[in-house]
Amino acid sequence: MGTCSKEDCYYPSYQDRQLSKQLRDNVHGYIYLDPIFLKFVDTEQFQRLRDLKQLGLTYMVYPGAVHSRFEHSLGVYWLAGEAVHRIKAHQGLELDINNFDIKTVKLAGLLHDVGHGPFSHLFEREFLPRVLNGLNWSHEDMSIRMIDYIVDKHNIDIDREYLKKAKEMVIASTEHASPRTANEKQFLYDIVANGRNGIDVDKFDYLVRDSRACGLGCSFQFERLMDTMHVIEDEICYRAKDYLTVHKLFATRADMHRTVYTHAKVKAIELMVVDALSTANSYLRITDKIDKPDEFWKIDDSILKHIETNSSKELKEARDLIQRIRRRDLYQFCNEFSVPKDKLEHFKDITPQDIVCSQTAGRITLKEEDVAVSIAKIDLTRGRNNPLESVKFFKDYESGDKFSIQDHLISHLLPSFYQDKIVRVYAKKPELVEAVSKAFENFQLKIYGVKAQVHATPEKKRRNCTC
């Protein structure tokens, strides 16, 4: 294993600290922002991230989840720097890591979410596809455009090669990632957004930060992986004896999706906000801004307050929905089922029409607009595949070999299946719960021959009916 001299290792000088800005982060402690990064942070486009809650609407169920993408971005910036510095400290000579590499990775970490829309991923995965006929828009692409806009708008003097590489790192895990060439230090592209195996400092930060904000414990300790990452054949690898720690990263993420990110009541609120934004779009023309960085940065979570306090008649329907959320008059969760394993491969999304068409004769005739459906996919980052198969391990630091750990060598206590798809159905009015619940049960019988849900809808909820 290569070593570095004291001069090559990262020891911030007194002068460096004097020129840096010191911040106190509630997860990582003191963070230092160098002058070049402050030029980006001290812009209205980056400061906008203060007005984007990291977990979107989750705070309406978990009151402490009010942390922002601003603090998350600072955390990823700091961890990205820590990761590359630690690798350099151990392998700096053999990997030829230089200041250009360090600054590029840190810049990518800082700016990776600067193109995010409001309400976490709801904006790009639920709202935009609905109003723009399935448009595939991503915050990573907008981040790239926003970075260029910030540089041009504020005349930031920065080497264009820094920008080019940093932008490539931001989209490294997406389908738009540029193909790497030989001798390009591919391992650097896996630090912020890892498309190879999903282990990156973005997850390290948000899993710990989100767990803490929601008042939940987090048994995953990213420091163990940070301390032992080792580059072999241009890929970050991990000690074989730490495979359970790696698995815990993916399991913690899945658990957060199940208990927090896709919480049934959180999804009810999200469904209502999507309906509100969809009806308001023709008046507010939100979608006109998604391809214009100079307009897009003005959209943040305050759009709900704008709708709520705007007296325009064109916004009445959206305004009423937001007031219902404020008064806790939410879409009513009727029931859910997990799609059977043997049906996942050919699963077709279930729509309100499917539920309505499954209704039998009754006192109430349901319409599509009475029903909302949410489909939550929960996995360990690799769909139905074992994520450990994509991770490379090494035996010890003296070894130059990397390898995958096969399924039969892994603890039998770990899962043998790696994905859940949960279908939830909601009634948009309390008095419709019984009718929607029965129609949902009929749908399950028609498709699967049995009721796939674990529990019956509580009688108290079914009978909350004024019909």
Q: What is the mean pLDDT of residues 69-76?
A: 98
CA atoms within 13 Å, Cβ hemisphere of 100: 10
Q: Report the interhelical angle of 139-153 vs 99-111 (nearest 10°).
A: 110
pLDDT tens-digit series, residues 251-303:
999 999 999 999 999 999 999 999 999 999 999 999 999 999 999 999 999 99
pLDDT tens-digit series, residues 419-446:
889 999 999 999 999 999 999 999 999 9
Give the pLDDT of residue 467. Answer: 41
Question: For residues 178 and 183, what is the distance between their CA atoms, to the nearest angstrom?
Answer: 15
Give the pLDDT of residue 409. Answer: 67
CA angle 220, 224, 140 (to 5 degrees): 70
More confident residue, 344 or 64: 64
Give the pLDDT of residue 285. Answer: 97
Question: For residues 57 and 379, what is the distance between their CA atoms, to the nearest angstrom?
Answer: 21
Give the pLDDT of residue 342. Answer: 86
Active-site pick, 116, 139, 230, 247: 139
Give the pLDDT of residue 218. Answer: 87
| Terminal C-alpha separation, the chain | 75
Tokens standing for 308?
């709520």
Residue 143 has pLDDT above 60, yes or no: yes
Give the pLDDT of residue 2. Answer: 41
- Specify the length of the chain in residues: 467
Question: For residues 19 and 41, what is the distance between their CA atoms, to the nearest angstrom?
Answer: 15
Tokens standing for 197?
């195996």
Q: Which residues pair with 320 in a beta bridge?
A: none
Residue 329 has pLDDT above 50, yes or no: yes
Is 154 one of the catalytic residues?
no
Question: For residues 330 and 272, what is the distance between their CA atoms, to the nearest angstrom?
Answer: 8
Q: Which of 102-116, 136-150, 195-209, 447-461 has the lowest mean pLDDT?
A: 447-461
Give the pLDDT of residue 92. Answer: 83
More confident residue, 86 or 176: 86
SS3 432: helix
Question: For residues 26 and 70, what is the distance between their CA atoms, to the nearest angstrom?
Answer: 13
**Domain boundaries defined on the chain:** 14-264, 334-380+418-467
Q: What is the mean pLDDT of residues 392-406?
A: 89
Give the pLDDT of residue 262. Answer: 95
Fold of 334-380+418-467: Alpha-Beta Plaits (3.30.70)
Neighbours of 422 (CB within 10 A): 18
Q: What is the mean pLDDT of residues 123-131?
A: 95
pLDDT band of residue 5 (cuts 50, 70, 90) is very low
Share of the chain above pLDDT 70, in %: 91
Q: Which of 13-27, 69-83, 283-297 has the lowest mean pLDDT?
A: 13-27
Give the pLDDT of residue 1. Answer: 41
SS3 436: helix
Give the ranges where 313-393 is alpha helix by DSSP (H).
316-326, 352-356
Q: What is the mean pLDDT of residues 56-70?
A: 97
Give the pLDDT of residue 10. Answer: 44
Q: Which residues pair with 236 in a beta bridge?
A: 231
Give the pLDDT of residue 341. Answer: 87
Where is 174: in which H helix or E strand? none
CA 208 to chain centre: 13
State how far the alpha carbon of 41 is from the alpha carbons of 76, 147, 203, 345, 465, in Å: 14, 11, 21, 44, 53
Give the pLDDT of residue 181. Answer: 62
Residue-averaged pLDDT of the chain:
90
Q: Any idea which architecture 14-264 has in CATH?
A: Orthogonal Bundle (1.10)
pLDDT tens-digit series, residues 445-454:
999 888 888 8
Question: For residues 227 and 87, what is the distance between their CA atoms, to the nearest angstrom?
Answer: 9
Q: What is the mean pLDDT of residues 210-214?
A: 96
Residue from 154, 157, 156, 144 nearest 111 by CA: 144
Residue 313 has pLDDT above 50, yes or no: yes
Neighbours of 215 (CB within 10 A): 10
For the entire predicted model, the pTM comes to: 0.91
